[in-house]
Structure 1
Amino acid sequence: MEKKNIIIHEKINIGISACCMGSPVRYNNKGWDMLQNLGREKQDFNWCPVCPETMSGLGVPRDPIHLSGGNGAMVWTGEAIIKNRRGRDVTEEVKLGSIACLETLKRAEVTAYVYMDGSPTCGVYRTSLKKQKRGNPPGIFGSVLLDEELFLIPASDLQSPIKWWDWRRRLLAFHWFRSLEMKNKDDLYKAWYALKFLCQEIDDTWARDMGRKLADLGKISEEEISSIRKEILEVLRKPSTVKKITHSLWKNYSYYRKTRGETVEGIHSPDFRRNVTTIAKELLTMERTAFEEGVFFATSPVIYRDKRRMPKVEPEDIEMDEEIEATLRGELPEEE
């Protein structure tokens, strides 16, 4: 089967907690520019900032709020409430603000959302900023984001080059696969073939089980395709680890050398000691070099390129032989 990176040209729309984009909308009239470290790459996405608390009409500055009696999901069922520091019940206001933000994100057709963990509204896994307390996660708006099955990115991870690289490549794959039209088994299997090496890196046992499941499929219904799509999307939401990413980089570099017969300056083996910033630079170098040479970079199967920056000739399809595919699976001894 022919392999090449999937190139998308449309910018992905990403929702973001407004305080993380520098807007001074927190209760204390402050905010953080969490996108600053992305540099020019920030321009590769369309950003839609929202703030459930200001959309609630609570104003800036305001008394801080907290969940009482349960988590954010329980607020929607009436089992918990939201109070401010003075004990005033602001549940209905915050619910209306959350609904208004969700409507905005739907109009913007966002694929992902960058959330501020520790917030009683936008927090997903924490609703308290106190070091030893998680609060009552998820927050009221965080529970809505989970229900919408968006690709959720913690704002703090935008500060780490390698974590952002991991989120970005999985987001691109998530967006492409979620919007891909699939009518039959062949469509599904072709899509899986593009994503399987990334999925194997994230969860190898699950990915191999999924591969066998797809290989054994007969005629498949739309409901089964939808169910499998949902399962794959769920895996793409899961972060990888530095160790897994580093080994995946080396496997893909080995594939590049076998394909092109060339080396790339600055790419090191997994046992070479360096910091995560250096690893992130190696990943970007390998990603760019593979794209320019028309070589499939399996660990980052979907890439975004502005049409204005595209070369005149698209990279050619590369057909992988069994040895190359085994290298990407990590089943052959790798060159030192």
Structure 2
Amino acid sequence: MEKKNVVIHDKITIGISACCMGSPVRYNNKGWDMLATLGREKQDFMWCPVCPETMSGLGVPRDPIHLSGGDGLMVLSGEAKIKNRRGRDVTEEVLLGCGSCMETLKRANATAYIYMDGSPTCGVYRTSLKKQKRGNPPGIFGAMLLDEEMFLIPATDVQSPIKWWDWRRRLLAFHWFRSLPLENKDDLYKAWYVLKFLCQEIDDTFARDLGRKLADLPKNVEEDTMKSIRKEILETLRKPSTVKKITHSLWKNYSYYRKTKGQEVEGINSPDFRRNVTTIAKELLLMERTAFEEEVFFATSPVIYRDKRRMPKVEAYDAEMDEEIENTLKGILPEEE
């Protein structure tokens, strides 16, 4: 089987809480531009900002709202309410607003969503901004996103170069595999060959168990079994990796590159080099670019995006990508251990 990265050319649509894209739609008429740190890479995606509260008709500025009597799932089932600071029940309005936002994401064919934790609507693991309290997660819209099995990215992670790189590579793999036609065991096995090294990094036990499971499958795999395996893999791709695992995977893949090409890449440091997260992110971007150019399988980032318009421009590619790497990392984070 040919060892080669999957290249996709269509931009992925990512939904995002509008307040995280700079829109001043929070209750206090404020917002944050969480995407500013992405630089030119922001152009690699389509963005679909939504705000459940404003779509609910609550306006800006407005009284803060909170979950009362349970979490967002219980609101959806009618067991809990949403009230504002003055005690007014705004459950019906917020449910309509959340439903409208979800319909918008579906029309946009959004694969992922960048959410701001701490919100009673968009929050997934927190619905309170108080330091010692998580609130009643998930929020109402957060519960809908979980039900739709969206690829969910916390907004604060977008500002970290290493965390964003991890989310991006897993999102690309998730998007590709979710829509990949699987008709038989051979299709499944070929797809797993592309994804298994990334899955091993994220959860080695799961990956090895699934490898044995695939080997034992009959030639004609039942549709329900195929769906179950696809769901398991997608759930694994949603899980973040760690800096330690990512660094180990980088060196392992770099070693494979050196063995295959018989040459080194200037800018990739030895395993004992004391790296910080900014340096690691720069090495990962450099290795992605180099592996793509040299047509060497970079297994830790198996699915990559490339704009079709840039593909033939090989002579200008190096300088352009060098600039892109610097712009991606510039000003993202201070040097940290």
TM-score normalised by the chain length of structure 2: 0.92
Following TM superposition, the consecutive aligned residue runs of length 4 or more in structure 1 with deviations greater than 6 angstroms are none
1:128-167: CA deviation from partner (whole Å, max 9, x where unpaired): 1111110000000000000000100000000000000000
Counterparts of residues 34-49 of structure 1 (less than 5 Å): 34-49=34-49
CA–CA distance in structure 2, aligned partners of residues 160 and 168 of structure 1: 12
CA–CA distance in structure 1, aligned partners of residues 179 and 99 of structure 2: 24
Q: Match for 2:309: what amino acid?
A: R
Give the deviation of 1:179 after TM superposition.
0.5
RMSD: 0.9
Are 1:70 and 2:70 matched, yes or no? Answer: yes
Match of 1:306 in 2: 307
**What secondary structure does 1:2 align onto?**
coil
Counterparts of residues 131-210 of structure 1 (less than 5 Å): 131-210=131-210
Match of 1:247 in 2: 248
**What secondary structure does 2:82 align onto?**
strand
Q: For the structure 1 residues 277 and 312, does the alpha-carbon distance in structure 2 shift closer, same or farther, using more than 3 Å as the test?
A: closer
Match of 2:331 in 1: none
Unpaired stretches in structure 2, ≥5 consecutive residues: 315-337
Q: Match for 1:117: what amino acid?
A: D
Q: Match for 1:233: what amino acid?
A: L
Give the deviation of 1:312 after TM superposition.
7.2
**What secondary structure does 1:3 align onto?**
coil
Are 1:5 and 2:5 matched, yes or no? Answer: yes
Q: Match for 1:208: what amino acid?
A: R
Give the deviation of 1:270 after TM superposition.
3.3
Match of 2:94 in 1: 94
Match of 2:290 in 1: 289
**What secondary structure does 1:96 align onto?**
helix
Give the deviation of 1:223 after TM superposition.
1.4
Q: Match for 2:111: what amino acid?
A: T
**What secondary structure does 1:30 align onto?**
coil
1:235-292: CA deviation from partner (whole Å, max 9, x where unpaired): 0000000000000000000000000000011212333212101100000000100000
Q: May I ask how many residue pairs the two structures share in their alignment?
A: 313
1:67-111: CA deviation from partner (whole Å, max 9, x where unpaired): 011101100111110110111111100000000000100100100
CA–CA distance in structure 1, aligned partners of residues 272 and 120 of structure 2: 42
CA–CA distance in structure 2, aligned partners of residues 250 and 151 of structure 1: 27
Match of 1:226 in 2: 227
CA–CA distance in structure 1, aligned partners of residues 228 and 271 of structure 2: 36
Match of 1:273 in 2: 274
CA–CA distance in structure 1, aligned partners of residues 33 and 81 of structure 2: 30
Q: Match for 2:176: what amino acid?
A: W
**What secondary structure does 1:61 align onto?**
coil
Q: Match for 2:181: what amino acid?
A: E
Match of 1:84 in 2: 84
**What secondary structure does 1:138 align onto?**
coil
Percent identity for Structure 1 against Structure 2: 85
Match of 1:333 in 2: none
CA–CA distance in structure 2, aligned partners of residues 65 and 277 of structure 1: 38
Match of 1:126 in 2: 126
Match of 1:324 in 2: none
CA–CA distance in structure 2, aligned partners of residues 226 and 311 of structure 1: 37
Are 1:59 and 2:59 matched, yes or no? Answer: yes
